[in-house]
Copies of this chain bind each other. A is one copy, B any other.
Amino acid sequence: MTPTPRPAATQRSNDTRHNRAGLARHYTAVRERSRALAAPLSPEDCQAQSMPDASPVKWHLAHVTWFFETFVLERFEPGFKPFDPAFRVLFNSYYQGVGDRFSRPQRGLLTRPDLATVWQWREQVDARIARLIEHTHSEEALRLIDLGLHHEQQHQELLLTDVKHLLSINPLRPAYRRHWPLVPVVAVDPRWIEQAGGLVEVGHAGEGFAFDNELPRHRQWLEPYSLMNRLVTNGEWWAFVQDGGYTDPRWWLAAGWDWVCAQNLRAPMYWTLPTETGAMPSVFTLHGEVGLDPHTPVAHISHFEADAFAHWASATHREWAGARLPTEAEWEAAAAPLVVQGNLQESHALHPLPARAAGEGLMQVYGDVWEWTSSSYAAYPGYRPAEGAVGEYNGKFMVNQYVLRGGSCATPTSHLRASYRNFFPTDARWQFSGLRLAR
């Protein structure tokens, strides 16, 4: 679970994918992974949209295919002819440069095409992309295919979190997959790990793939700081709940307090609080409803909740005095030397797992839950969005969102980097989002 320093020799080289055979293999693997994630679901499960922020599984499967057809095949395939011209509008997410798009909150109403047709579309596009990889003379086409695969990996994570939200609404409490991954562990005590700070460099370095928002690499000045060795746990969060954390405005930002009151919240998403004193909450997971495990990292909290917890922790526990969220630069500076490994999508746990007492350093840096930072999502100095419609990928969301780092149990390993920036509004909590304290 504990990432260890990464020798330069083992560094995964993304650019080998621009080697055609490697890219073709990676393409097949990522696309197959999407199919595997959808396998446990019925056509009905793939149709429904449980909230405007979420999308139907069928829409995810179609949209990532739309990306390849619209941004790659349309420009680079000789004699391009779309599978169905209407899909260009139906499955555009938000790219204004592409033209019209279908209303986002109504995606669950697109019962045509049906799921079977979407699978046919995917197969046809896969064959055409395979031919393109083999024959194209365009480096840009290959780069855009690589971008499309990272795009599809993002949607794999969303597919899982969206379907979790959908299933949670059903009073039958159905499981996505019953395979409960938890085993008994020895609790790991929280401990501060000191970091030197100073003039550090952040942002993507090297030749591998990176999104435009990770560039350019640049300098930042950091005062010395500490990070907690592991993530905040359910048990620690339950103490916060029992101490009246959700009903005491002292711990909350003003906007957070308004949000908690308006939504009448008392716990993280997916928790069901016990009706009897002394009992523990239960929690909805992709494996169905289970009892809350105190050593597991807390998940499905908003930025508001993460910030409130830090204020509470700082004020009520002497050993946590000064606790706060880390900045994204603090997180990245500490994570940069570590190998990307942990409880990621490939572990098939589909749930965060407790830290295990296996070392002195930072644990759970990659995987388990995305870690909220105090950094608002903004352009790095000198940032330039990509050319064309794909330039709308990242830059236009750089306001009123906050950065999360480190990936989760739903993130594919090959998708992550130390410089990877995820971002969500301060009230979002249907992602696998948690926190690590800093001070």
Contacts and interface: CB of A to CB of B under 8 A. Distances in A.
A221 B223 contact: no
A381 B220 CA distance: 13
A interface secondary structure, majority: mixed
A346 interface: no
Contacts of A183: none
Given A43-B44, A44-B47, A399-B255, A102 B381 contact: no
Contacts of A375: 378
Interface stretch (A163-171, A188-196, A237-245): A163-171
Interface stretch (A20-28, A89-97, A270-278, A290-298): A89-97
A127 interface: no
Interface string A255-268: 11100000000000
A177 interface: no
A154 interface: no
A342 interface: no
Contact of A43 (B42, B170, B378): B42
A88 to B, nearest CB: 11
A382 interface: yes
How many copies of the chain does the oligomer comprise?
4
A410 interface: no
A186 interface: no
A300 to B, nearest CB: 18
Given A47-B111, A109-B166, A166-B111, A223 B399 contact: no
Q: Find the residue from A44, A47, A48 having the highest chain B CB count within 10 A.
A: A44
A114 B42 contact: yes
B199 A111 contact: no
In this complex, the interface size class of chain A, counting residues with CB under 8 Å from chain B, is 35 or more
Given A223-B381, A255-B399, A170 B112 contact: yes
A226 interface: no
A397 B253 contact: yes
A399 B303 contact: yes
Interface string A283-319: 0000000000000000000011001000000000000
A108 B111 contact: no
19 contacts: A42-B43, A42-B111, A42-B112, A43-B44, A44-B114, A89-B171, A90-B172, A94-B254, A110-B170, A111-B170, A112-B167, A112-B174, A199-B221, A223-B381, A253-B399, A255-B399, A324-B379, A374-B379, A375-B378
Given A44-B58, A109-B170, A254-B396, 18 more contacts: A42-B112, A44-B114, A47-B48, A96-B257, A102-B171, A108-B108, A111-B167, A111-B170, A112-B170, A113-B172, A219-B223, A221-B221, A223-B381, A253-B396, A253-B397, A307-B399, A399-B426, A400-B426
Interface of A: 42-48, 50, 58, 86, 89-90, 94, 96-97, 102, 106, 108-115, 166-167, 169-172, 174, 199, 218-221, 223, 249-250, 252-257, 303-304, 307, 324, 374-376, 378-379, 381-382, 396-400, 402, 426
